[in-house]
């Protein structure tokens, strides 16, 4: 059985187009906090967060309800007049994961 890595991404859509403009990795936020934030959207049929749901929508009302926490956790300025926001879970097989970080600083220039 394959091992998977999971990420939760803030998906940003331009209101005037039906395309994803960008993603912000927000996997540092605990699952329990997402359960609290999206409690009204979780149905009794769901066995776990994101079960049978592609993503959860962050409305302006929902954002304002959790604004203090979200501002501390997500280094991004929400603009509900321009953008739509959703939160989705993505996965990748561990053996196909491409490392997206460096373990060391760049070497010094040789001058």
Asked if the model's pLDDT at residue 98 lies above 90, the reply is no
Specify the pTM. Answer: 0.82
> In sequence order, which residues have a C-beta less than 8 Å from that of residue 66 and are 6 or more positions away?
37
Concatenating the DSSP letter of every residue in 17-79 gives SSSEEEEEE-TTS-HHHHHHHTGGG--TT-SSTTTT-SEEEE-HHHHHHTHHHHHHH--S---
Per-residue pLDDT tens over the stretch 63-97: 999 999 999 999 989 999 999 999 999 998 988 98
Q: How many CA atoms lie within 13 A of 20 on its CB side?
A: 9
Per-residue pLDDT tens over the stretch 14-55: 999 888 899 999 999 999 999 999 999 988 888 888 887 789
For residues 70 and 63, what is the distance between their CA atoms, to the nearest angstrom?
8
Domains of the chain: 4-95 (3.10.50.20)
| pLDDT computed for residue 99 by the predictor | 84
């Amino acid at each position: 059985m394959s091992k998977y890595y999971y990420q939760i991404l803030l998906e940003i859509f331009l209101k005037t187009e039906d395309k994803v403009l960008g993603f912000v990795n927000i996997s540092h936020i605990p699952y329990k906090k997402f359960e609290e934030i999206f409690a009204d959207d979780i149905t009794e049929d769901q066995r776990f967060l994101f079960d049978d749901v592609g993503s959860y929508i962050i409305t302006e009302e929902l954002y304002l309800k959790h604004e203090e926490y979200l501002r501390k956790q997500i280094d991004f300025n929400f603009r509900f007049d321009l953008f739509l926001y959703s939160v989705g879970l993505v996965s990748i097989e561990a053996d196909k994961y491409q490392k997206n970080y460096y373990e060391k600083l760049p070497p010094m220039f040789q001058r």
